[in-house]
Structure 1
Amino acid sequence: MNSVHIPNELNQLLQESNAQLQLSVPQLVEKILTRNEGTLTATGAVRVSTGKYTGRSPQDKFIVMEESTKDKIAWGPTNQPISEAVFTSLYYKVLEYLKQQNEIFVFKGFAGADKKSRLPIQVVNEYAWHNLFVHQLFIRPSEDELLSHDGGFTVISAPNFKADPAVDGTNSETFIIISFERKIVLIGGTEYAGEMKKSIFSVMNYLLPENNIFSMHCSANVGLEGDVALFFGLSGTGKTTLSADPNRRLIGDDEHGWSSNGVFNVEGGCYAKCINLSREKEPQIFDAIRFGTVLENVTINQESRIPDYDDGTLTENTRAAYPMEAIDNIIQPSIAGHPNTIVFLTADAFGVLPPISKLTKEQAMYHFLSGYTSKLAGTERGVTSPEATFSTCFGAPFLPLPATRYAEMLGEKILEHNANVFLVNTGWTGGEYGVGSRMKLSYTRAMVQAALEGELNHVETVKDEIFGLNIPLHIAGVPDEVLQPNKTWADHAAYEAKAKELAGKFRENFKKFKDVSSEIEKKGGPVA
């Protein structure tokens, strides 16, 4: 079949099937309960299970190799190519499958809070709870906006449709396929709702740079005086904890764009981890879990229906999906000015990176491309000592374009807006994991606070002998000796050996960036 007819085929499906369009939160909750898709909890949230897939399936994610994109995508293990023929065949099979369902659910909304650059999206779901998820995670249109909504990019999710790899050309029964020319994301064989969220983020990471907008996997907040801060960091580095500040309003917790006008949230909601969640530790997230929230894979008491956030029986990746409005301390709409401060967060289990250091533009680009943190012993089978983990631009799985494209945009933005960039180590001090101790949160908060308030812009610094990083000598509320890792280790020779070991891992990882300016590696990387 001719692929140009695909949008018409989709419209025909929506017209001929029992498509439930733009249901409200109460209507969707009713559907979820009557269809036995989930359970109402004591907080009013809906608890659901995602079956055997409790996280993303990166090995099953593909991008259609098309004429307009084939020379732009950074093809490889992350961005696996798939043919137009395979996509088209699967597409029609999924449509035929959805036609057989008693009802399907459709949400129309937007990705991107900035109206000048937002992407209209529509999501077609087999499950009512998936439709509630996207209703809460993306930007909901007004009645007037809905009337003029043109569909834009369409996500089609059919969890119970399973591919046959031998026939359909996939790696398994699961598939997540993006076609940029057809403006379609096709998902099947997985109930994990995060695939819909991250697929649209991948789409935005392709489209925004094409419009000279820097797309970012980070959280963002704004101070009382309008000063904007960005927080980049991989899981476990403290991104959510440190960006949730009672004295600053949240712009967003995960995905943002940086245009000529400033920063904007890509989403309209939050997808928060809730393993070991408590009101004492994270009151904003805890109190946001109420009617309309989707709780994924959280264990609940069958009688009281009270969630047990400490139970990781199904997965450690338990999640709560709720709209931004469920949090009190936010800025609406989710738009702010240009960032004054950028914070890269890393949890260094080697215990050798400074707890805070101010980066030059070249160092910022180097550490942005590196995206370093540590994988700890015991977190995965076979991991017996800390392992260096590098995720390019702090979001490698979601970047369709070459990494250098994003790093170059970061460098341009830093220069244009005179943004100050800091590398903050929330990991270990006084020795590596198992010997030293985790950096005190109170110290990290004091350091980040000083950075946000501009107190570190012109302070006296000392250069780290291994990594070449500029370390402030004094920060209020933090002992001076804590600021310099080489002074916290009892054995200086052991410190130097461990620091040089990590520096070597940085250099080895950076070899994969073939088209990066030598100046970035020379001026931005380790010096010893």
Structure 2
Amino acid sequence: MQDLMLKSAEKTLSSIGIEKVNKAFWNLSPAELVEHALQNKEGKLTNDGALMADTGKFTGRSPKDRFVVKDDKTAESVWWGDINIPISQENFDGLHQKMVKFLADKNVYVRDAYAGADPNYRLNLRVVNTHAWQNLFCHNMFLRPTAEELEDFDPNFTIICAPEFEADPEVDGTRQKNFAILNLSKRMILIGGTGYAGEMKKGIFSVLNYILPHEHEVLSMHCSANIGNEGDTAIFFGLSGTGKTTLSADPERGLIGDDEHGWTENAIFNFEGGCYAKVIDLTREKEPDIWDAIKFGAIVENTRFYPNSRTVDYSNSEVTENTRTAYPIHHISNAVSPSVGNIPKNIFFLTADAFGVIPPISKLNTSQAMYHFISGYTAKVAGTEVGITEPQTTFSACFGAAFLPLHPTQYATLFGKKMEENDVNVWLINTGWTGGPYGIGSRMKLKYTRAMITAALENQLDNVEFKKHDIFGVEVPQTCPNVPDEVLNPRETWSDKAAYDAKAQELAKSFVKNFEKYADYASEEILSGAPKV
């Protein structure tokens, strides 16, 4: 095995069973990885200097092909089902040996990195890739050790990612030829048959979602976070299309991170060292921070150029709607370093309610916050997916069900405990429709939503009158700076009040029906946060 570049002389790949490869390139710089990617014909340079790469057949995660090894450690602790699909230790070991054999004559790119900006809770990662561009992705997305730290770097979790390697489903226990398998006992992730780099990022997120709450009572969260000049941290939860990236990107506040965080006894910390943003229809006017971050060292995935140029056409979706960019967080001008903030003072649950029922801003008590946290509600509107012709409710537990190894009530209970201990304000923000449902009403104006969030952050709602919503029970402010009073009460924006009441009851029933699968595990305190049907 020929080892090249920056690593500890004592460290090899033998600890993960890899005794032989053609060449192992350790901890190459972004410039070197870009050179290798171009030489290997893995991608092309854009006119902005970013590396454009395709992910192949898979342009997103494949949730049905994500497995967790079921063993003595995980049998009773993991929330088994459609999200955490069990696979045996024997199948894992068999695939591991096949992958090791597959790599014997290949060049590999090895990266040592951290996951978690708080050194008390971070994972030391070692990633082995067969593609240089995917190793650059890991450089961008995970935290980067210094040269001095690399000298005695000791990994405690490993990823082996070989998109060219495919499983034999009949022999290996997988569903298809592609797979992503988490082994929490052997502290290893195997990924094969897919070139979608996000499998590595979300694999480690899932690992932290198991380790931190289960072993350390640290709440892991799928959210963005920013911090004000006075050290006040705010957290934003929200599913796709609710405005999480847009609303957390505030030029007056520092960015802690845009996707994954932990909440300890005394801080919020980013799990990552970069951002992985969607770029479909990206413009400088809509998302200036993301636009300016796409430069040398960044990656754009599955995009296409304008004809006869190296200029990316971000409106082009011929490969996928899920075009993305991955860049280190320091490409964002107002990112804070290290990516750590104080205990949050305000938490925002963002929803794009296409039924026009949820108030544009409301305050939640602890029970309601836990209930809505588990629910993770938004709505899809016509045209967002094939076959959707009317608004549809969408629920994703803890705003990230696909990455939760533990039962959602465990995260919600810990969330409630953190709220009570720290006297945090939790706000439900509707960025969706007002004056009626989708097709009748109109989308809430972004300037009003920003004004409401600013008012909450600046304590301008502390002394205003609140009224309880008849069905959802949340407290609705009756006045807010820079927002018309009539906008704040959704029923008053509907011309047909009876139609509003009927639609509100319909949505409340959807909440209750969705929650049935959690009810047996939920405490009375959580259940008391439900809407009244």
The alignment's TM-score, normalised by the length of structure 1, stands at 0.97
Q: Distance in 1 between matches of 2:324 and 2:259?
A: 14
Residue-by-residue CA offset, 1:385-429 (whole Å, 9 max, x unaligned): 111000000000001011111101110111111110000000000
Q: Secondary structure at the match of 2:438?
A: coil
Q: Does 1:206 align with 2:210?
A: yes
Q: Which of 435, 443, 448 in structure 1 is aligned with 2:448?
A: 443
Q: Distance in 1 between matches of 2:112 and 2:501?
A: 56
Q: How does 1:62-461 map to 2 (within 5 A)?
A: 62-101=67-106, 103-209=107-213, 210-301=215-306, 303-461=308-466
Contact preservation (8 Å) 1:22, 1:108? yes
- 2:64 corresponds to which residue? 59
Q: For residue 525 of structure 2, what is the amino acid of its counterpart?
A: E
Contact preservation (8 Å) 1:50, 1:296? yes
Q: Secondary structure at the match of 1:31?
A: helix
Q: Distance in 1 between matches of 2:526 and 2:349?
A: 17
Q: Secondary structure at the match of 1:471?
A: strand
* Structure 1 residue runs without a partner (length 5+): 1-6
Q: Does 1:518 align with 2:524?
A: yes
Q: Distance in 1 between matches of 2:256 and 2:410?
A: 25
Contact preservation (8 Å) 1:201, 1:398? yes
Q: For residue 188 of structure 2, what is the amino acid of its counterpart?
A: I
Q: For residue 239 of structure 2, what is the amino acid of its counterpart?
A: L
Q: Distance in 1 between matches of 2:168 and 2:511?
A: 41
Shift of 1:12: 5.4
Q: Distance in 2 between matches of 1:453 and 1:299?
A: 43
Shift of 1:100: 2.4
Q: Secondary structure at the match of 1:512?
A: helix
Residue-by-residue CA offset, 1:459-494 (whole Å, 9 max, x unaligned): 211111121111000001111111001000111111
Q: Secondary structure at the match of 1:345?
A: strand
Q: For residue 477 of structure 1, what is the amino acid of its counterpart?
A: N
Q: For residue 121 of structure 1, what is the amino acid of its counterpart?
A: L
Q: How does 1:444-483 map to 2 (within 5 A)?
A: 444-483=449-488
Contact preservation (8 Å) 1:350, 1:433? yes
Contact preservation (8 Å) 2:471, 2:532? yes
Shift of 1:290: 0.2
Q: Secondary structure at the match of 2:460?
A: coil
Shift of 1:11: 4.8
Shift of 1:14: 5.8
The count of corresponding residues between Structure 1 and Structure 2 is 520
Q: Distance in 2 between matches of 1:256 and 1:164?
A: 36
Contact preservation (8 Å) 1:10, 1:95? no
Q: For residue 114 of structure 1, what is the amino acid of its counterpart?
A: D
Shift of 1:51: 1.2
Q: For residue 145 of structure 1, what is the amino acid of its counterpart?
A: E
Q: Secondary structure at the match of 1:307?
A: coil
Q: For residue 351 of structure 2, what is the amino acid of its counterpart?
A: T
Q: Distance in 1 between matches of 2:126 and 2:500?
A: 53
Q: Distance in 2 between matches of 1:242 and 1:283?
A: 13
Q: Distance in 2 between matches of 1:303 and 1:14?
A: 46
- 1:87 and 1:161, CA in 2 relative to 1: closer, same or farther beyond 3 A? same
Q: Secondary structure at the match of 1:510?
A: helix
Q: Distance in 2 between matches of 1:115 and 1:39?
A: 36
* Structure 2 residue runs without a partner (length 5+): 1-11
Q: For residue 323 of structure 1, what is the amino acid of its counterpart?
A: P
Q: Secondary structure at the match of 1:52?
A: coil
- 1:3 corresponds to which residue? none
Q: Distance in 2 between matches of 1:26 and 1:8?
A: 24
Q: For residue 272 of structure 2, what is the amino acid of its counterpart?
A: E
Contact preservation (8 Å) 2:13, 2:19? no
Q: Does 1:47 align with 2:52?
A: yes
Q: Distance in 2 between matches of 1:309 and 1:99?
A: 39
Q: Distance in 2 between matches of 1:232 and 1:117?
A: 22
Contact preservation (8 Å) 2:20, 2:103? no
Residue-by-residue CA offset, 1:15-61 (whole Å, 9 max, x unaligned): 65411100000000000000000000000000011112111000000
Q: Distance in 1 between matches of 2:82 and 2:400?
A: 14
Choose 297-306 or 185-194, whichever is displaced more. 297-306
Q: For residue 523 of structure 2, what is the amino acid of its counterpart?
A: S
Q: Distance in 2 between matches of 1:410 and 1:345?
A: 17
Contact preservation (8 Å) 1:420, 1:457? no
Contact preservation (8 Å) 1:114, 1:264? yes
- 1:4 corresponds to which residue? none
Q: Distance in 2 between matches of 1:134 and 1:354?
A: 40
Q: Distance in 2 between matches of 1:454 and 1:310?
A: 40
Q: Secondary structure at the match of 2:200?
A: helix
Contact preservation (8 Å) 1:338, 1:417? yes
RMSD: 1.2
Choose 363-372 or 295-304, whichever is displaced more. 295-304
Shift of 1:136: 0.5
Contact preservation (8 Å) 2:49, 2:295? yes
The alignment's TM-score, normalised by the length of structure 2, stands at 0.96
